[in-house]
Amino acid sequence: MTRILVVAAHPDDEVLGMGGTIAVHTDRGDAVRVLVVTDGSSTQYPGDAEIRARKEQEAVAAARELGVDDYIHLDLPDMRLDTLAHVELNHVVEQHVRDFAPEVVYTVQPDVNLDHRTLFDAVAVATRPTPGHPVRRLLTYAPTSSTEWTPAPLNWFVPNWYVDISGTLERKVAAFARYETERRDEPHPRSERAIRATAAHHGSACGCAYAEPFVLVRGLE
């Protein structure tokens, strides 16, 4: 059993970017924790406690579709992570790395979304390869409707690691269907058709029916 930590800035990042891979890990019997650090709604729906609770319920239901019971949703300010002191966000991530002691960490790609970039920096600090550190592999995943919209000067997402999700794509689709507040009509990247097409595209890049792409930031064998 491998301990897997999936770090997301917002609820839905984890499913859009690597829902199929999460299901692959849980099917293997790995211990998977999903950590979402922002409240996910306070910027778009300021002061709306009802939709905050609804989005959290959706996220928990999505996690269960993927076989995850260890889901943690924090309440850092949505779309305003850059307003926090860097050391404060580092401390939050470091605490979970220390407590959970994952061997593999996935975090969101630092793309056009500033929360994603800020969170990536904190995860990079929390997973520094000091002697005795538990993390053996650090990868980034690419949430659709964010990474592919990133302007060229910022976009260094060139996948060098793929996971075959041919057997778990339907669970990814079912998990995202739980996010009723986030689904959009096609051809938006958050539509079911786009999710399937993206998985097929990356599958063709690595020789399988459906895949999810990652950047291996660091690995130690």
**pLDDT score for 45:** 61
**pLDDT score for 186:** 85
If one counts the domains in the chain, the total is 1
Which ranges of the chain have pLDDT less than 50?
A: none
**pLDDT score for 51:** 79
* Structural domain boundaries, residue 171: 3-219
**pLDDT score for 80:** 94
Q: What pLDDT digit, counting tens, does each position of 146-174 carry?
A: 888 888 777 889 999 999 999 999 999 99
**pLDDT score for 23:** 98
Question: What CATH number corresponds to the domain at position 39?
Answer: 3.40.50.10320
Which amino acid would we find at residue 67? Answer: G
SS3 (DSSP) at 215: strand
**pLDDT score for 44:** 66
